[in-house]
Amino acid sequence: MKKIFIGQAVTGQDVEVLKKEMEKINSTLKDGGYSVYSTLKEEGKNVFKKAGDWVIHAFKQLDKHDVFLVIVRTEHRSEGLLIEIGYALSKGKKIILAINENVKKTYLRDFANETIEWKDFDDLIKKLSKLKI
């Protein structure tokens, strides 16, 4: 069973909305036969002294997974997510970029092994339900 680590920008986003969306994403991927992990599931459960500790925690989790699924909703830059992508690249992890089609000012597509372009959340779910790794 392939193990997928999900990363996304959290800072500046509505965490409750993200959590609801992650429930649907997790469910969709699990139905596809994948093991799924996201640090967002632990939001509020871990007490880290500084933001960088979250990133170190993410590195340890990334090491345990086969694939890094990066979800990009906006052109907003997330330092943590960019650091995680760099780490995944350095470790030779497969990177799947699920990016909203309105995001143009980025070169993340250049680093992805696979890119999923989506219009809205329902379209993202539909495309993730067809994911084959």
Q: What are the backbone angles phi and psi of residue 106, rounded to the nearest 5°?
A: -160, 155
The predicted-structure confidence for 92-103, as pLDDT tens digits, reads as follows 999 999 999 999
Q: How many domains does the chain have?
A: 1
Burial class (CB in 10 A: 0-12, 13-18, 19+), 114: middle
Instruction: For the full predicted model, state whether its pTM sits above 0.85.
Output: yes
Domain of residue 11, CATH code: 3.40.50.450
- Strand, helix or coil for residue 85: helix
The predicted-structure confidence for 75-120, as pLDDT tens digits, reads as follows 998 999 999 999 999 999 999 999 999 999 999 999 999 999 999 9
Q: Are the C-beta atoms of 46 and 111 separated by less than 8 Å?
A: no
Q: What share of the chain is helix, strand, coil (3-state, %, to 5)?
A: 45, 20, 35
Domain that holds residue 122: 3-129
